Amino acid sequence: MFSGIIRDLGKVVSVNKGELWAQLELTSNLFKDTQIGDSVAVSGVCLTVSKLQLELAIFDVSSETLRVTSLGSLVTGSLVNLENPLTLSTLLHGHLVQGHVDGLGKISEILKEGETYKVFIELTSALIRYLVPKGSITVDGVSLTVGQVEENRFSLYIIPKTWDWTTFSRMKLGDLVNIEIDILAKYVERLSSPLAN
């Protein structure tokens, strides 16, 4: 479990791809306090550290993760958002994030409004129906607040600190981002469905 508060940017050292799997080698100061077997949110995807050497960690990526997330498009030199898991004594600054990506969104518009950035992300109808204005959403591992919700896209307002501290400052129109819907919305849907009764 995570909070969506990014603690460091990791850099991809190498990507080893098979037909249905991949292995990511990342470097970051965050790994100084990490152990083999620990979970780490990598751009919003919960991965397990399989090998570790000082500030370098290796993660195995399954075929399902490659299918649902943007991790398959990473190349040497790519930057990723990183967060260690919560502990029972960790302050919850963002919202409860599982690291289980529901699908991909596409950056469709980036506007600068004063010192903040307004970013629009296109989503499928299967995902956008879960969004409400002022609700929580996770984009590439970052806990954010939904702005407007339109038929096939939604907006975010990103403050300078978040913009500079995460991969948002490097995003371009058309980039794909990992989306995790707020788990509370999915529980409400399940409990209100006929199958729950």
| Per-residue pLDDT, 186 | 85
Q: Mean pLDDT across the chain, nearest whole number?
A: 94
How far is Cα 140 from Cα 21, in angstroms, rounded to an integer? 20
Domain 8-83 has CATH 3.30.450.20: no
User: Where are the CATH 2.40.30.20 domain residues in the chain?
Assistant: 8-83, 103-192
197 has a pLDDT exceeding 60? no
In the 8-state DSSP scheme, what is residue 2?
B
pTM of the shown model: 0.93
CATH architecture of 103-192: Beta Barrel (2.40)
pLDDT tens sequence across 146-188: 999 999 999 999 999 999 999 999 999 999 999 999 988 888 8
The DSSP secondary structure of 92-103, one letter per residue, reads --S--B-S---E
pLDDT tens sequence across 29-85: 999 989 999 999 999 999 999 999 989 999 999 999 999 999 999 999 999 999 999
